[in-house]
């Protein structure tokens, strides 16, 4: 066993880990990053990127089929195997980019599984059983080991028809019938994509509505579009088990609170009921790092753990379990390690890549702890949305009733994921609704809806009359 030393060891090379490693190296710290899988982590390899590749292709293919009213008559076909190959090529290009960035910044990359031996030492087990382990001593550590899909009792991911969100993105053939367990953001994004590609999709949800983390007004356009795509919903039903019928096809059994059971036939079953942290692999107890009852590493300001020289960022540190939050938390953690005072991360936007998209940031009207004024602009009054055939949804901004400071925003509609950036900037910098309203936005653009919603706070909107 060899022994090495480093200033900073980063465990995990996902969007939190590789960003932490690069910034630490930029701050002049000798940095080693350890990853047991592929560079880029789950997000790049098995989540955010491949899922958006799938979603964008599905959206484009489905959109062509809905353009008859605009004079376009076509029935596109998607070669799923070719789509999968292209999807893989995008991932490979980005993972290669992460490796190049780490190397260019002088970060030492170690492939293997790192676990703490004590509060200043990790042991790295290489992927090959024939290679020797390495002991690495460190001054500071950043835990960025991410999360894994939650496995439901009775639905083992080892069973071929049962798919995790990772498995479904590795399919080389499109299932004709897909049962999706869970109507959260992962379940809804993938349900919409597969329905656009021609799969018969049934969504099972134990709660009463899809996307329970979002308000009814934001979810309604998404649910309506999903039903237009042929997605069937069954709410108030908890998935219990699955079995194979006489033809070998999987059948999912659900049960209501009253004990009533239903059965749903499928070719594949996607279980998307959330994610849990991956902290067990690093043996946090050995370093004296506190973990809560749910397995998340307990952190304070800038991701500092119960050991002041060890930090944790991203999914392993708890909500919000978002890649972009992990990256920014990593920057703040490293600034603290380097002796700076970075302050808290935020505000953090949240995005759902459904049809239409949902994006939020900051305070919602019903959650405000002060008197607020709400301004809104419907996309049906926006020229660019109409030319794109995407008039569903609205932009809503929440402002302090006294001074007009923007506190939050909610968008459901076309390109919501892109539009939320401007309003996140406004909330972060405590700009007022008037600041946004008086900023000239190019015409015709979707961004004009932000300007109109902000103007609506003061009753000065030109293209809408409803505050």
**What 3-state DSSP class applies to 457?**
helix
* Cα–Cα distance measured from residue 84 to residue 62, given in angstroms and rounded to the nearest whole number: 17
Q: Which of 170, 175, 155, 167 is nearest to 266 (CA)?
A: 175
Q: Which two tokens stand for residue 235?
A: 């709410």
What's the pLDDT tens digit per position in 189-220? 999 999 999 999 999 999 999 999 999 999 99
Number of other residues whose CB lies within 10 A of the CB of residue 370: 9
Q: What's the Cα-to-Cα distance from 232 to each of 202, 235, 243, 339, rounded to whole Å? A: 5, 10, 21, 54
* Cα–Cα distance measured from residue 24 to residue 333, given in angstroms and rounded to the nearest whole number: 9
**Yes or no: domain 2-148+276-337 corresponds to CATH 3.50.50.60:** yes
Task: State the pLDDT at residue 241.
Answer: 97
Interval 136-155 mean pLDDT: 97
Tell me, yes or no, if 443 is annotated catalytic.
yes
* Better-scored residue on pLDDT, 66 or 350: 350
Task: State the pLDDT at residue 163.
Answer: 98
Q: Which of 14, 91, 89, 16 is nearest to 299 (CA)?
A: 16
Q: What is the dihedral of CA 406, 432, 422, 455, to 10 degrees?
A: 100
Name the architecture of domain 162-273: 3-Layer(bba) Sandwich (3.50)
Q: Do domains 2-148+276-337 and 162-273 have the same CATH topology?
A: yes
Name the architecture of domain 356-457: 2-Layer Sandwich (3.30)
Interval 227-240 mean pLDDT: 97
What's the pLDDT tens digit per position in 266-296? 999 999 999 999 999 999 999 999 999 999 9
Domain ranges of the chain: 2-148+276-337, 162-273, 356-457
Task: State the pLDDT at residue 466.
Answer: 62
How would residue 343 be classed by pLDDT, with cut points 50, 70 and 90?
confident
Task: State the pLDDT at residue 1.
Answer: 64
Q: Which two tokens stand for residue 425?
A: 């900037």
Reply yes or no on whether the pLDDT at 130 is more than 80: no
Task: State the pLDDT at residue 230.
Answer: 97
* Cα–Cα distance measured from residue 462 to residue 454, given in angstroms and rounded to the nearest whole number: 11
Task: State the pLDDT at residue 100.
Answer: 97
If residue 135 lies in a helix (H) or strand (E), which one and from where to where?
A: strand 134-143
Percent with pLDDT over 90 in the chain:
93
- Based on the number of CB atoms within 10 Å of its own CB, is 334 exposed (0-12), middle (13-18) or buried (19 or more)? buried
Give the chain's mean pLDDT: 95
Q: Which two tokens stand for residue 213?
A: 């983390």
What's the pLDDT tens digit per position in 74-105? 889 999 999 999 999 999 999 999 999 999 99
**What 3-state DSSP class applies to 275?**
strand
Task: State the pLDDT at residue 439.
Answer: 98
Q: Which of 316, 273, 271, 326 is nearest to 294 (CA)?
A: 316
Percent with pLDDT over 70 in the chain:
99
What's the pLDDT tens digit per position in 24-36? 999 999 999 999 9
Reply yes or no on whether the pLDDT at 181 is more than 70: yes
* Cα–Cα distance measured from residue 145 to residue 279, given in angstroms and rounded to the nearest whole number: 7
Task: State the pLDDT at residue 235.
Answer: 97
Secondary structure (DSSP) of 149-192: EPPPTT--TTSTTEE-HHHHTT-SS--SEEEEE--SHHHHHHHH
Contacts of 198 (CB under 8 A, 6+ apart): 78, 174
Reply yes or no on whether the pLDDT at 341 is more than 80: yes
Instruction: Look at 259-273, 333-347, 368-382, 444-458 and tell me which has the smallest mean pLDDT.
Output: 333-347
Helix and strand tally (H, E) in the chain?
12, 22
Interval 142-169 mean pLDDT: 96
Which one of 332, 438, 441, 443 is the catalytic residue? 443
- Partnered with residue 406 across adjacent β-strands are 399
Reply yes or no on whether the pLDDT at 467 is more than 60: no
What's the pLDDT tens digit per position in 409-463? 999 999 999 999 999 999 999 999 999 999 999 999 999 999 999 999 999 999 9
Task: State the pLDDT at residue 314.
Answer: 97
| pTM of the predicted structure, to 2 decimals | 0.95
């Amino acid at each position: 066993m060899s022994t090495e030393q480093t200033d900073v060891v980063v465990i995990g090379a996902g969007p939190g880990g590789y960003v932490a490693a690069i910034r630490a190296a930029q701050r002049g710290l000798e940095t080693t990053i350890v990853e047991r899988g592929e560079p880029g982590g789950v997000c790049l390899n098995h989540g955010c990127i491949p899922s958006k590749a799938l979603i964008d292709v599905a959206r484009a293919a489905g959109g062509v089929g809905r353009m008859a009213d605009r004079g376009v008559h076509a029935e596109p076909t998607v070669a799923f195997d070719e789509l999968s190959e292209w999807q893989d090529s995008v991932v490979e290009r980005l993972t290669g980019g992460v490796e190049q960035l780490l190397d260019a910044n002088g970060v030492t990359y170690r492939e293997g599984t790192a676990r703490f031996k004590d509060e200043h030492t990790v042991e790295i087990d290489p992927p090959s059983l024939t290679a020797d382990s390495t002991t690495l001593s460190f001054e500071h550590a950043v835990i960025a080991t991410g999360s894994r899909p939650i496995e439901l009792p009775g639905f083992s991911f080892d069973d071929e028809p049962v798919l995790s969100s990772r498995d479904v993105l590795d399919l080389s053939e499109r299932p004709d019938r897909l049962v999706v367990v869970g109507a959260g953001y992962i379940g809804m994004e993938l349900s919409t994509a597969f329905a656009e590609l021609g799969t018969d999709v049934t969504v099972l949800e134990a709660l009463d509505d899809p996307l329970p983390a979002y308000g009814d007004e934001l979810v309604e356009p998404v649910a309506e579009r999903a039903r237009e795509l042929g997605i069937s919903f069954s709410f108030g039903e908890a998935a219990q088990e699955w079995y194979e019928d006489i033809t070998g096809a999987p059948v999912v059994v659900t049960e209501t609170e009253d004990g009533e059971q239903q059965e749903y036939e499928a070719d594949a079953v996607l279980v998307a009921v959330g994610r849990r942290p991956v902290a067990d692999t690093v043996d946090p107890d050995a370093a004296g790092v506190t973990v809560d009852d749910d397995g998340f590493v307990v952190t304070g300001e800038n991701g500092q753990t119960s050991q002041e020289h060890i930090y944790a960022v991203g999914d392993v540190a708890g909500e919000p379990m978002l890649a972009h939050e992990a990256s920014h938390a990593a920057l703040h953690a490293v600034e603290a390690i380097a002796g700076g005072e970075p302050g808290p991360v935020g505000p953090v936007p949240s995005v759902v890549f459904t049809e239409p998209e949902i994006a939020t940031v900051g305070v919602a009207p019903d959650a405000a702890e002060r008197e607020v004024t709400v301004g809104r602009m419907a996309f049906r009054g926006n020229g660019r949305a109409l030319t794109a055939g995407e008039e569903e949804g609205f932009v809503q901004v929440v402002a302090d009733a006294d001074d007009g400071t923007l506190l939050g925003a909610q968008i459901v509609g076309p390109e919501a994921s892109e539009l939320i950036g401007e309003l996140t900037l406004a909330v972060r910098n405590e700009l007022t609704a008037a600041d946004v309203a008086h900023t000239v936005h190019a015409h015709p653009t979707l961004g004009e809806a932000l300007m109109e919603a902000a103007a609506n706070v003061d009753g000065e909107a030109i293209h809408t009359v409803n505050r």
